[in-house]
Amino acid sequence: MVQFSKIMKPEKGLKKETTVPKRELRLKEVVPSLDKRGLKTDGVEALYNALLNRALEVRERVIKDQGISPSPILRLIHEIISKEQIDNFYKYTLIVTDDYGLPSHDISVTAASLKVGKGLNYDLKGLLKLGLAAFFQNIGMYKIPEKIVNKKGKLTKEESELIKKHPQFSYEILLKMGKSFRWLAEIALQIHERYDGSGYPHGLKGKEISEYALIIGLVDMYIAMIRHRPYREKFIQTEAIKSILEIGKGKFPPYIVKAFLNQITLFPINTYVRLNNNAIGRVISTDENKPMRPTVEIIFDSRGRRLSNPQIVDLRDSPLLHITDTIDENSLRK
């Protein structure tokens, strides 16, 4: 078993460029190019594909009751951090159009958790532990039948109780990694605990809960809201944030909520917005220093006519324009 302390050092393997195995190159077909959306790739696409491949492999091994190693995941997370790609990696998870269920979800949670950790000034070791815990937080769900996980209708009482056992399943799976990673198992067990004691499975409260678990629990809730689920449509990102502020009051420490809001912009990449001149566009980039004034790709003009050649407007340079509302992209197809 590889020791966590050893992974912290930049090994030779960490310097190699991450590539997708030949047998899995099909993944690239569902991953759009960031260049077309005004973002810098700098290897983010390859990092995403490599991490997704590892997530799919972990799912397969858990289903087959085979052992798993954290080393490949730690190396990829280290590469994201050391290459200062946390922000770009998170943006990429928002626009990627894959359909791999829980593996895709957990990569998004990993990316967003790293952003929050960055906002809390975590050092390299702290970010690595946070990222690894986020990646493995839902591993116990692979022990639950897919027909229950993907059920479109309301869960029965028995099904709901089984779902609530997944933190315990995660704990048991991760314990098999050895004593060096017991901390990882304990964080997974606490992901659904809440600061006010309203969570499960043990109703822990306050400082009884790991800070890592509280960060990941908040991010997990947000990512789940902005993704389609078998039983509901996804939330508009801004509505998801507002909902979290209402539902999550008291469930997470104020300083973690503040870091989350500072890092997860009010107008994330790919959000559709209406401007004060009635034009409609899609957010393609944001500025942390001016979160209310992102760069927007105008798709419909002020008269509601779709533009054959979308126009790019940087609201930082357009003082007369501002965002008045967010729009559900599904409404644009009607």
298/241 same-domain check:
no
154/242 same-domain check:
yes
C-alpha 75/C-alpha 22 separation (Å) is: 20
122/199 same-domain check:
yes
C-alpha 141/C-alpha 241 separation (Å) is: 25
167/224 same-domain check:
yes
42/164 same-domain check:
yes
Residue where a domain stops, chosen among 202, 229, 263: 263
239/136 same-domain check:
yes
Query: For residue 247, is pLDDT > 70?
Result: yes
141/196 same-domain check:
yes
Q: Give alpha helix (H) positions in the chain.
A: 4-7, 12-15, 44-63, 71-82, 86-95, 102-119, 124-136, 146-149, 157-163, 166-175, 182-190, 211-225, 237-247, 254-263
Residue where a domain stops, chosen among 263, 291, 310: 263
Domain of 304, in residue numbers: 272-333
**pLDDT digit string, tens, across residues 58-110:** 999 999 999 999 999 999 999 999 999 999 899 888 877 667 889 999 999 99
251/319 same-domain check:
no
202/300 same-domain check:
no
* pLDDT for position 235: 63
47/196 same-domain check:
yes
Mean pLDDT over residues 266-272, rounded? Answer: 79
**pLDDT digit string, tens, across residues 167-184:** 999 999 999 999 999 999
Q: Which two tokens stand for residue 85?
A: 């790609």
C-alpha 191/C-alpha 231 separation (Å) is: 22
191/220 same-domain check:
yes
95/45 same-domain check:
yes
The model's pTM: 0.75
**pLDDT digit string, tens, across residues 297-310:** 999 999 999 999 99
C-alpha 317/C-alpha 267 separation (Å) is: 17
Q: Domain with 198 in it: what CATH number?
A: 1.10.3210.10
Domains: count for the chain = 2
Mean pLDDT over residues 309-329, rounded? Answer: 89
Residue where a domain stops, chosen among 230, 263, 296: 263
C-alpha 131/C-alpha 112 separation (Å) is: 9
One-letter amino acid identity for 3?
Q
